[in-house]
Structure 1
Amino acid sequence: MVVCGDDALAHRLAAELRGVYGEQVTLVVPSAQRTVRPPVVGRARAVSAALLDRVVGAAVSLGAAGGANGGGNGGGNGGGDAAGRQERLMEAVEPTEVVLADAGVERAAALALVYDDDETNIRAALTARRLNPRLPLVLRLYNRRLGQHIEELLDQAAALATGEDTGDASTTVLSDADTAAPALAAAAVAGTTKVVQTEGLLLRAVEQPPVRGQQTAPGLATLALLSPPGGGTPGAEGGDERGPELLPDTAAVRQAAGQCGRVVLEQVAYAGDGTSAPVAGARRGIGGVVPPLGSLFSRRLRWSLAGLAGCVLALAVALWLVTGVHLLGALYLTLLDLFAINDPAVGASTGRQVLQLLSGLVGLLLLPVLLAAVLEGLGTFRSASALRKPPRGLSGHVVLLGLGKIGTRVLTRLRELDVPVVCVEAGAEARGLATARRLRVPVVLGDVTQEGVLESAKIHRAAALLAVTSSDTTNLEAVLYARGIRPDLRTVLRLYDDDFATAVYRTLRAAHPHARTRSRSVSHLSAPAFAAAMLGRQILGAIPVERRVLLFAAVDVAGHPQLEGRTVGEAFRAGSWRVLALDAAASAEQPAEPDAAEPRTSGLVWDLPETYVLRPRDRVILAATRRGIAELLGRRGRAGVQRT
């Protein structure tokens, strides 16, 4: 595997491929990135290699003491080769043709280009496709529309170069922002907030508190058992800090009933055309051409118009009672008096004359109100040139700090879930301001570290604070300042270093035990999806469960002995993977069992019977851990044999 990048995602991806999948990795980074501290998985791997070297060194010393110097030297070289096969580090400013050739793309199993610049990734991908037309490519691109065209272009170039439509030369375009945004947005919303969203499918993970006597959880499946309140492993007494139990079996769920919470999977239906707009409370008046009537006029103006309409009705009723005219006729005469187009009531009764004067006075009051309505309406339609301010009575919203690459994607996810948001951005040229205008989201411009900025975003009435700026210190300072205002505020902060994120999470959880705190590293959330894509799997998304990650993938049954020819019950492996649904559109026919559920609008068959036999032509949706995906791919065993 060849990984080229210039930030923490490259190191995390290389560590994921080495530590989880046991792959040989060539990492190409700029020279300045050599000093970057490797992530946790990489350091754990380095510690294991160091221990191996110590053991080999001890064997060499014993061999030398016994007079077998040649054998000792041979053993030392062998140990060095075993450790060196796992990662090869190269330094290069840009992934040029010479650099890619030296990295071995002509004989590599896959290439990942995860530079922060889209143009650099595209240029390197075109070069790599020319060097090796059959090479599977994984690109990191922020521009999703451009990514679709690049994916088609690279696959077409591979087909023309090889002269055949081969499935090996596949191109996968991913975005770390799109991969991490659902998890970040999910952590900011209470309860039912962990969402995996793809075309035609929306899955939601719901955290349920422990309930005594509850044997089965409602929903599609139980994904995980959360850590007990006192820490330790679910279902075990005196457990350690290993965290939650992912993909438990029925016995484990029954044993942990009432002791710890669980994560249950639910499905949310899509709108009629199958787009990414969920039906559940989705997108009311977001991004439409004509805004709703309530957003055209302010509350004060609406109350003024309502008051004037009440005055007109009162005058019409009074005229009806005084003159005895029909009620509709009295309303017509009142409107004529209101607009000053009726004849003066000369010679009429005193009551009629007084009502005409009052109607004229109401008409004078109506003119400035109508002018204000016109100006506000025009201002609303021209809101693309101005930012909205937080409404005075806003409460229960999410305060989002930062409208950069990650913040823009998180904002879109939150609005798709119909969560009210107030954004805070320091720069007036941030890329996400246009999205905020389009979605009609209030924005506060200012430095979040300055006093009064979070107060302007109504932080004291907010439901959660989501800090996703590019500065770790800014995110941490904003969270600490917000906690000073509201100690029970739910906070989610994005941190660059995964170790730092873990330390901050534990410290804030200990300092504020009654508040919910989540710290997320984007590279930690994105690397599993990139790694699995390099291994040829269509990853639908990832859901964090405490400090661990569950992957959702679409897998063809053919070629997988763990799935092919087995029933759904036999294919389930606790702690590794679980079949959730059958893609009926990709399969040749519907399940033969009469108990199988009917296909939904998304083309997925849920609640498959345990006796349904998976056929080679089937395509299934499954949830898996990172090690489960690695084992299902069949690579860990081969890598282990090579290392041995």
Structure 2
Amino acid sequence: MPSSTRSRRPHFVVCGGGALAYRVTFALSTRYQGDVTVILPDAASEHAAKMSALDDVRIVVSARPDTTTLEHASIGTASAVALLDQDDAGNIETALLVHELRPGLRIVVRFFDDKLGSGVARHLPNCDVLSASKIAAPQLVSLALDEARHLDVPGLDLVVAESGQQAGKELAVLTAVDEHDDAVMLPSPGTPQIAPQVVLAHPVRDPAPAGTTYRSNGKLWHYIRSNLNRYVWYAVAALTLITLAGATLLVAAQGAPEWGTALYHVVLHLLVGADPDTGTPLLARLVQVVLTVVSVAVIPLLTATLVDAVVRARLAAAVSGPGTTMTGHVVVVGMGDVGTRVLTTLLERGITAVAIDTNDKARGIQFARTHGVPVVIGDGRQPDVLAAAQAASSRAILAVTSDDLANIGITIATDAIDRAPDAAPLRRVLRLFDEDFARRIQGLIPGSAPRSASQLAAPAFAASVTGPDAHDTVAFRNRVLLIAEVPMRAHAALEHRPAREVDVPGEVRLIALRLPHRSPGADVVLNPTPGFPLQHNYRLIVVATRSGLERLRARTAHPQGAAPGDDLGPET
């Protein structure tokens, strides 16, 4: 490669040796045409071998990134740093070290704890905190529900829909396929009509508001009734007969006509005993003695049995799924990081769910119980476990454990589910890492949708590394489009120009404007008219290719300032 071209390539530093690090490294070195230095603890690992085989990627081995390691990775010339280890504490430490060495350098940090991550981002300039499982979860849910995917754009509800899906008001054609089976990105209105494959749209109906939670429809009485053995019922029946017999004998012994009064005395005798009364007839005294003995001998036994039944019922309710019939729910198997995020997304959408995991102490199981979601503790590959989750009447099953083979086994086990003849086909989504393996599994199990959480999250991480204005991404084949929000600067080239001048056929499409000094919810102008005048304090929400976004950044920047990312090179 000529040195002039090489000098324009950005340099990125990636810390991490897992699946997400590999996918982000691949994207940065190919789609974003960057030179990448990867810091990882083990050069012999599977993902390290894959990364070292990539062009323009250099490997630096270190147990933990320290000052010497970062300097060896050329942190001084880096355009950005991505910290992608599955270690929140370690990522914070490395982020602080990077900030000490290069204040203001772009830092992207992988984090699971949202609140802690947001706090870190507020205290570090030019830092973005993302969660791989949080990014992947909505996409997995969309797959399970067979619906258009919602994009993560603050204050704006946008979906990406494939051809044939009902999405809503179409805003832009993102990809189409021509007669040569090549992907055409953002086709110009003047080009020949091509059937779109992926479109951007504004949904007709908004999803359920955030914060919606689901309370289990299981009833404790269902579990109490199922945990009471026949001896409890024998004791209750015997106690009832003794009470009725005692009341009848008291009426006969005392000559009292009020049978209800006699029953009242019998119940009191049974519960609290009776004071001696030598003035009563002999038969009445015998009845009182018998009732007192029964209350001493039987009542504690019956009380202990009932308490035991209630305790066992509560345990059964905690681990044995819903107590009453459920239909149209989603079964989530695997309550780790990804499963917890999937369950959170379902709750926010107001969709009923059942959680399954082999570990009663799993993070997601505790979360499910807190939010009233039915829980089944067991192996999702077992038919009785799926039956306890009422999978036969569910709308979808997501197998998202951290074990690929377990996820495959869970999906295959659903073949044995006996669904109603008129029921819709069961949607089956499973989590896998390897793309080729996933493709083969999809052929083996028709109707399944194998996906990798890191595969779904990597485009968003890579886009965030290249700049703070990228909100989300849309991947199609080997291409990625960016959904970005670009601020307008004073005296920029586009200031006071009409909105139509933002659009560049095949590169940039303006989809909304964010205007200042408006109330929340009313500050976004969706699909502005072509003649809408642009002001320097507006923010342009666009869908763009990487090179198109770079050129838009230059057109919206102050003319005397350097446009961010000018050194990213041409589009691939």
Same fold by TM-score, threshold 0.5 exceeded? yes
1:499 aligned partner: 436
* DSSP-derived class of the 1:612 partner: coil
The alpha carbon displacement at 1:38 in A equals 6.7
1:4 aligned partner: 15
1:61 aligned partner: none
Q: Output one character per residue of 1:185-220: Cα deviation in whole Å (capped at 9) or x when no partner.
A: 21111324x123465444334556289xxxxx8415
Distance 2:408 2:491 in 1: 45
Do the aligned residues in 2 keep the contact of 1:268 with 1:279 (CA within 8 Å)?
no
Larger Rg, first or second structure (1 or 2): 2
1:396 aligned partner: 328
1:601 aligned partner: 521
1:158-557 aligned within 5 A: 170-192=126-148, 194-197=149-152, 200-207=155-162, 209=164, 218-219=168-169, 221-224=171-174, 234=177, 236-237=178-179, 239-240=180-181, 242=182, 247-250=186-189, 255-256=194-195, 264-266=201-203, 279=208, 284-286=212-214, 386-387=318-319, 389-485=321-417, 488-505=425-442, 507-508=443-444, 512=446, 515=447, 517-543=448-474, 550-557=481-488
Do the aligned residues in 1 keep the contact of 2:17 with 2:42 (CA within 8 Å)?
no
The equivalent position to 2:84 in structure 1, one of 88, 111, 114, is 114
Distance 1:567 1:186 in 2: 36
Do the aligned residues in 2 keep the contact of 1:468 with 1:475 (CA within 8 Å)?
yes
Identical-pair percentage: 31
For structure 1, the 5+ residue unaligned runs are 47-85, 156-169, 212-216, 226-232, 270-277, 302-343, 345-352, 364-370, 591-598
1:335 aligned partner: none
Q: Output one character per residue of 1:256-306: Cα deviation in whole Å (capped at 9) or x when no partner.
A: 38xx7855332766xxxxxxxx645x65554xxxx79x77766899xxxxx
* DSSP-derived class of the 1:21 partner: coil
Distance 1:246 1:265 in 2: 19
Amino acid at match of 2:536: P
Distance 2:476 2:537 in 1: 32
Question: 1:29 and 1:629, CA in 2 relative to 1: closer, same or farther beyond 3 A?
Answer: farther
For structure 2, the 5+ residue unaligned runs are 1-11, 225-250, 252-257, 268-302, 420-424, 555-563
Question: Structure 2 length normalisation: TM-score?
Answer: 0.71
* DSSP-derived class of the 2:363 partner: coil
Are 2:21 and 1:20 equivalent residues in the alignment? no
1:566-581 aligned within 5 A: 566-581=497-512
Distance 1:497 1:614 in 2: 45
The alpha carbon displacement at 1:146 in A equals 0.8
The alpha carbon displacement at 1:412 in A equals 0.2
The alpha carbon displacement at 1:92 in A equals 1.2
Do the aligned residues in 2 keep the contact of 1:202 with 1:268 (CA within 8 Å)?
no
Do the aligned residues in 2 keep the contact of 1:20 with 1:630 (CA within 8 Å)?
no
Distance 1:441 1:219 in 2: 34
* DSSP-derived class of the 1:142 partner: coil
2:247 aligned partner: none
Are 2:64 and 1:88 equivalent residues in the alignment? no
Question: 1:610 and 1:471, CA in 2 relative to 1: closer, same or farther beyond 3 A?
Answer: same
Amino acid at match of 1:146: L
Distance 2:324 2:479 in 1: 40
* DSSP-derived class of the 1:88 partner: strand
Do the aligned residues in 1 keep the contact of 2:15 with 2:83 (CA within 8 Å)?
yes
Do the aligned residues in 1 keep the contact of 2:17 with 2:48 (CA within 8 Å)?
no
Do the aligned residues in 2 keep the contact of 1:423 with 1:442 (CA within 8 Å)?
yes
Distance 2:52 2:186 in 1: 25
Are 2:534 and 1:614 equivalent residues in the alignment? yes
1:311 aligned partner: none
* DSSP-derived class of the 2:79 partner: coil
Amino acid at match of 1:497: D
* DSSP-derived class of the 2:339 partner: helix
1:29 aligned partner: 40
Question: 1:10 and 1:131, CA in 2 relative to 1: closer, same or farther beyond 3 A?
Answer: same
Question: 1:567 and 1:254, CA in 2 relative to 1: closer, same or farther beyond 3 A?
Answer: farther
Q: Output one character per residue of 1:35-76: Cα deviation in whole Å (capped at 9) or x when no partner.
A: 42777x997x64xxxxxxxxxxxxxxxxxxxxxxxxxxxxxx
1:322 aligned partner: none
The alpha carbon displacement at 1:113 in A equals 0.8
Distance 2:186 2:493 in 1: 16
Q: CA RMSD in A?
A: 4.5
